[in-house]
Amino acid sequence: MLVSAAAFLVALAASVVLTPVIRVAATDAGFLDEPEARKVHQVAIPRLGGVAIGTAFYVGMAAALVVARAIGSPLKLESGHLPGILVGTALIAGVGVLDDLQGMHARVKLGAQVLIALVAYGLGLSVDRLSGPWGTLDIGAWSIVVTVVWVVAVINAVNLIDGLDGLASGVAVIAMAAFFVLGALSGDARPILPVLAAGAGGILGFLRYNLHPASIIMGDTGSMLLGFLLAAVGISLSQPIVSVPFWVPILALGLPLADTAWAVVRRLFARTPVFAPDKQHIHHLLLRSGLSHRVVTVLLWIVAAGLGLAAVLLGA
């Protein structure tokens, strides 16, 4: 736990320091998120908060490596799922930065997500079996398909729910907390715990600036980075490292996944482009019911926490 504590605290401090610096730099450079169909803010807001989260995450992981070596329990970067997680997170953050700086067509972005999922798969991050009440099912050649679909689905789920100040940040850190508890209870997830701790620290340091009314948003850099990180850890928890049933990470991420599934279904029935943004997401519907921005955010955090708790209770 000392290694995870170091990762969390260093990432938290780095994020608290870096976020306002990046906010000023993004504002001065004109990298602002303008109001559009899926967003509810009325003014332009700096959109590179994900750079602070990502940088803080890697600073936290560096601290974890140093502390682990100092106490004689070094993390082996070349083993397990860590190579796929660390490389994939860096690659998806790079795609997000490009998108935040100059924009990227939805299909190009999707192609990049698929490619990065394949890279992570090649580095050992793969869904090889599905566990459940029926026992364990080895999926063989379907492993690569299931892995890519899962990673891409979670990346886009977090991206799509990032429509209110603090919503995606809070949902992501709640899911990470649930994953951390599951990993800690298993006793076999030592390399994964610092990843979750560093990610949570990076989010919480950013969240203080992202609460309504936000002075900075994470942009696609942050939402895709967090989506990949959650998808990757979900794989680690459900595969030989820990082997919780695969539906447990799905349950923990139930809110963004359900919102994304609903978005795809309604757009298909309406015969509109699947990638076209709209204001029919769960948070938009709640806002239109008369609830305030902050109330909707907290309400959805509570839903996410309930799902996370259920995942822990059922997967422990």
The reported pLDDT for the residue numbered 228 is 98
Distant-in-sequence contacts of 273-279, Cβ < 8 A, 24+ apart: 275/106, 275/107, 275/110, 276/37, 277/36, 277/37, 277/38, 278/37, 278/38, 279/37, 279/38, 279/40
- Count of Cβ atoms closer than 10 Å to residue 191 Cβ: 21
| Residue 283, both tokens | 């948070």
The reported pLDDT for the residue numbered 80 is 65
pTM of the model: 0.93
- pLDDT per residue of the chain (316 residues) written in tens, 0 to 9: 889 999 999 999 999 999 999 999 999 998 887 766 555 666 788 989 999 999 999 999 999 999 988 888 777 665 568 899 999 999 999 999 999 999 899 899 999 999 999 999 999 999 988 876 666 778 888 999 999 999 999 999 999 999 899 999 999 999 999 999 998 887 665 678 999 999 999 999 999 999 999 999 999 999 999 999 999 999 988 876 557 888 899 999 999 999 999 988 888 887 888 777 778 889 988 999 999 999 999 999 999 999 999 999 988 7
| Of residues 192, 201, 273, 204, the one with CA closest to residue 234 | 192
Number of domains within the chain: 1
User: With contact defined as beta carbons under 8 Å apart, do 11 and 56 qualify?
Assistant: yes
The reported pLDDT for the residue numbered 34 is 74
What domain range includes position 243?
Answer: 2-315
Q: How far is CA 63 from the centre of its chain?
A: 21
